[in-house]
């Protein structure tokens, strides 16, 4: 499940929000077991900037998909 290893990406809420706001994000992947406050911020930002949002089950799974050895709440695929 390393589907996001070989793509340009940023990991984490702050970097994802920055990428979306600067117009660099193509798609955002959000883990469902993320804190509600973080999920709300990400969803609202993606809605506002019309960025595709994909949801996955867990932060641990998302981290592994992104090629890191820790949990990741959110990943943005960037240009």
CATH code, 9-78: 3.30.1330.30
64-67 long-range contacts, CB within 8 A, separation 24+: 64/1, 64/2, 65/1, 65/2, 65/3, 65/4, 65/5, 65/29, 66/4, 66/5, 66/9, 66/11, 67/2, 67/4, 67/5
The model's pLDDT over 9-68, given as tens digits with 9 standing for 90+, comes to 999 999 999 999 999 999 999 999 999 999 999 999 999 999 999 999 999 999 998 889
How much is the pLDDT for 44? 98
Domain boundaries, the chain: 9-78
Q: What is the pLDDT of residue 20?
A: 98
């Amino acid at each position: 499940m390393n589907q996001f290893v070989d793509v340009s990406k940023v990991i984490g809420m702050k970097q994802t929000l920055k990428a979306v706001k600067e117009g660099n994000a193509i798609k955002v992947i959000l883990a469902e077991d993320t804190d509600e406050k973080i999920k709300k911020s990400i969803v609202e930002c993606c809605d506002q900037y019309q960025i595709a949002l994909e949801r996955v089950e867990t932060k641990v799974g998302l981290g592994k998909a992104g090629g890191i050895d820790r949990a990741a709440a959110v990943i943005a695929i960037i240009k």
